[in-house]
């Protein structure tokens, strides 16, 4: 019998890492996940999905080349999924250096370690639709120019070009998934979508709090996270490495998200939301959506969870969790 394929997920403790780990396990992979300190990490997403005991975890500091090389030599993976690095756009304005280093150095060290080992390893890098900046009503494709408007987007753009350079210079199987916003109940509340849903559910259960938000006029292309990790896996099964935009192609205002979330718990959001100017970012995206036509054609991937169903899934999960406490 042949050995199962082995996948290394860097950033397995995050939302995408947890869902990707579950997907790969279901497909028969051996899954190894990394964390900066695996001995103390909670891996709450893996626990919530009931798969923690099925995954081997390794402590790796992606900004340290020796740590990365040691891990790859030990694990010898067939596929590497890099989902690590500081992932909050808002936080990147407060921690620009840490954000840039965690994203760009992590990618560079992984690629250099793969090149150094001289093994056939497939590499996936998590890119971001934030790299495109303001799209002025047009849906971004793989050929759209980058105009980043945050330290996070700047770092993701630099990582994208690092992957492209190593792919061309060293003939590596290395690709980037340029993913637009994708949500689930595994998101921490520092992400605005989870913040909104969690507050709406608490208020529906009797909380007297006010939900404080910044700019409600922005628009985003929101999808369902479990569908997006499936696209990641599909990219790694292609005959040759290519970059793909992954998105729904549908824009909604943040105000729409707030309205739908509160409507799901039979509340009028106007009664419970306050605008807080301190939450406004120095620069923000007015809106941007992606055109996933290439993914539909070559990967046979397309999203199925609509905007209203996405919010319903988030609210249902949060209300269920509140009832258990």
Please provide the distance, in angstroms rounded to a whole number, between the alpha carbons at the two ends of the chain: 46
Residue 194: closest CA among 50, 51, 310: 310
| Catalytic residue status for 320 | no
| Catalytic residue status for 274 | no
Burial class from Cβ neighbours inside 10 Å (0-12, 13-18, 19+) for residue 174 reads buried
Number of neighbouring beta carbons within 10 Å of residue 277: 7
Please tell me the distance from the alpha carbon of residue 121 to that of residue 138, in angstroms, as a whole number: 35
- Kindly give the pairing relationship between strand 273-275 and strand 211-213: parallel
Please report, in tens digits, the pLDDT of each residue of the chain (325 residues total). Answer: 578 999 999 999 999 999 999 999 999 999 999 988 777 678 999 999 999 999 999 999 999 999 999 999 999 999 999 999 887 888 888 899 999 999 999 999 999 999 999 889 999 999 999 999 988 778 999 999 999 999 999 999 999 999 999 999 999 999 999 999 999 999 988 899 999 999 999 999 999 999 999 999 999 999 999 999 999 999 999 999 999 999 999 999 999 999 999 999 999 999 999 999 888 777 666 778 999 999 999 999 999 999 999 999 999 999 988 877 6
> Which member of 92, 102, 128, 185 is catalytic?
128
The DSSP string of 41-93 is ---HHHHHTT-GGG-EEEE--TT-HHHHHHHHHHH--SEEEE--S---HHHHH
> Which member of 19, 87, 92, 130 is catalytic?
130
Q: Are 194 and 231 in contact, with CB atoms under 8 Å apart? A: no
CA dihedral over 129, 133, 136, 142, signed as positive or negative: negative
Question: Looking at residue 76, what is its pLDDT?
Answer: 96
- In order of 148, 157, 200, 224, 283, the CA distances from 134 in angstroms are 8, 14, 29, 22, 11
> Which member of 152, 160, 166, 228 is catalytic?
152
Domains of the chain with bracketed CATH = 6-182+222-246 (3.40.50.720), 188-220+251-283+307-324 (3.90.25.10)
| Catalytic residue status for 128 | yes
Q: Are 191 and 255 in contact, with CB atoms under 8 Å apart? A: no
Q: Are 190 and 90 in contact, with CB atoms under 8 Å apart? A: yes
């Amino acid at each position: 019998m042949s050995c199962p394929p082995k996948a290394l997920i860097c950033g397995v403790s995050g939302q995408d890492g947890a869902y990707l780990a579950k997907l790969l396990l279901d497909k028969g992979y051996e899954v190894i996940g990394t964390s900066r300190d695996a001995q103390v990490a909670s891996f709450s997403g893996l626990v919530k999905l009931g798969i923690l005991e099925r995954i081997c975890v390794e402590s790796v500091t992606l900004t340290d080349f020796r740590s990365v090389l040691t891990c790859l030599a030990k694990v010898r993976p067939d596929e590497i999924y890099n989902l690590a690095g500081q992932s909050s756009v808002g936080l990147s304005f407060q921690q620009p250096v840490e954000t840039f280093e965690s994203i760009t150095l992590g990618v560079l060290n992984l690629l250099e370690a793969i090149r150094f080992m001289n093994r056939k390893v497939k590499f996936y890098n998590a890119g971001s639709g934030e790299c495109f900046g303001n799209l002025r009503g047009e849906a971004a494709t793989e050929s759209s120019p980058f105009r980043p408007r945050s330290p996070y987007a700047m770092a993701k753009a630099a990582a994208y070009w690092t992957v492209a350079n190593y792919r061309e210079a060293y003939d590596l199987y290395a690709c980037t998934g340029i993913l637009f916003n994708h949500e689930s109940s595994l998101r921490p509340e520092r992400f605005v979508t989870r913040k909104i849903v969690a507050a709406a559910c608490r208020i529906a259960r009797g909380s007297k709090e006010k939900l404080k938000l910044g700019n409600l006029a922005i628009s985003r292309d929101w999808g369902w996270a479990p569908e997006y990790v499936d696209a990641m896996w599909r990219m790694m099964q292609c005959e040759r490495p290519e970059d793909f935009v992954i998105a729904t192609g549908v824009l909604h205002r943040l105000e729409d998200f707030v309205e739908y979330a509160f409507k799901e718990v039979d509340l009028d959001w106007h009664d419970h939301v306050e605008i807080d100017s301190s939450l406004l970012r120095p620069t923000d995206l007015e809106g941007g959506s992606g055109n996933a036509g290439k993914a539909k054609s070559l990967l046979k991937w397309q999203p199925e969870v609509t905007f209203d169903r996405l919010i319903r899934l988030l609210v249902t999960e949060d209300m269920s969790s509140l009832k258990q406490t």
